[in-house]
Structure 1
């Protein structure tokens, strides 16, 4: 979920992001991981929690269903507008990860799902999380390592080039490797790290693979012919049940001292 610190994302890009998030949110693996993140937050009835980079707001309504006083924040005004339209009884606010609209110690839960990789200063976001959390409050960070997509392809070297070229376009592509230490540096305790790997062998995630190659080509890392050949191979694999794409997602959780 995108929590970039600007709100002027083009309309077409926002629509594309919403469509991608909707696709991801409906996958069984994503639903299971969201549920696990709520468990890690240790939500209790009436507890105030925030979903940072809430996107279209699904997690906010799911946490509210568990009894939380859930608030969703996102710096993208159009995204918040979609969230309001879909879940009109929920509390959504326009705000970024560096300046949350809460008093010191006001919250008992902080959740950020696929957010920290777009932040240029994740440590600052963690400090802001610590500010708004009460002692004993819980933080849960979920995200992927952009260098760690496992893809079967005939040309392993080309695949590595594609994956790494895409990662290089992300602001903080390897932040999940740092998440535990970021929380340690900010004084959090009871830190745990889990990995949940989703494996896809059909056409479900083919658009993601096509986008990977497209972004690598746009960056000049691969040629037209290389992009076309790689994409054609992945399409053929998907159509014949031979695709293999494994996506590890890491969940780091801790307690505010």
Structure 2
């Protein structure tokens, strides 16, 4: 049975995920914090690029596993709204697939601004959970299931709010990019398993078995600069 870490590793190793991760590393500078670091892959990759890379996650077990797997990085247990870092201590702040689990992302952006040096860069990436595309024989049911699944999350539409969140919290030079992650095999099935409709899911599993599955996930990447 696959563990959460196994699934994260499988997604992280896809070419589209690798390319987007590399894109998110641009111009983060020499001291970078990766918030919600999970298994620590981004921290390890940033360290290999020459940065002092710091991973923060609220799950102690995940932090311990990340530290064992990526010894070149630094790892700490902490919350997105209370990072264990001094003021103005990093040149880059990265949060990937984090803000959709935060009820109110504004304090997290205020914390990002606190730890960034003036001129430091913030990068936010994440999927819009309310806009996932799934090919299905019952599009009305699919639309309802996607919306219902999104509504179980604290902030499923956080990604479409990234630009305004950055602007509202005093970041400048804000940019937004749209990317689409497309899945056509069984790797996407765990993402659909929480849709809570066995007959609908059985159709998707059958599509995967016969090379007819299509799931497309819109991912947004937003970046900004901390001004003085």
SS in 2 for 1:251: strand
Unpaired runs of at least 5, structure 2: none
Residue matched to 1:33: 20
Which residue of structure 2 lines up, in the alignment, with residue 244 of structure 1? 214
Partners of 1:186 and 1:228 lie apart in 2 by 43
Which deviates more from structure 2 when the two are superposed, residues 155-164 or residues 197-206?
197-206
Aligned residues: 227
Question: Is 1:195 aligned to residue 178 of structure 2?
Answer: yes
Which one of the candidate residues 196, 205, 216 is aligned to 1:235? Answer: 205
Q: Assess if the C-alpha contact under 8 Å between 2:88 and 2:115 holds in 1.
A: yes
What's 1:113 paired with? 96
CA–CA distance in 1 between the matches of 2:58 and 2:222?
Answer: 23
TM superposition shift of 1:201: 1.7
CA RMSD of aligned residues (A): 1.4
- Which of residues 179, 184, 187 is equivalent to 2:167? 184
User: Would the aligned equivalents of 1:43 and 1:66 in 2 still touch at CA under 8 Å?
Assistant: no
Gapped regions of structure 1 (runs ≥ 5): 1-11, 218-226
Distance 1:183 1:239 in 2: 42
Query: Is the CA contact (8 Å cut-off) linking 2:95 and 2:124 kept in structure 1?
Result: yes
Residue in structure 2 matched with residue 59 of structure 1 by the alignment: 42
Give the distance between the partners of 1:35 and 1:142, measured in 2 at CA. Answer: 12
User: What do the CA deviations read for 1:57-106 (whole angstroms, capped 9, x no partner)?
Assistant: 00001011111111000011000011111123321000110011111111
Give the match for residue 194 of structure 2.
Answer: 212
| Residue 132 (structure 1) aligns with | 115
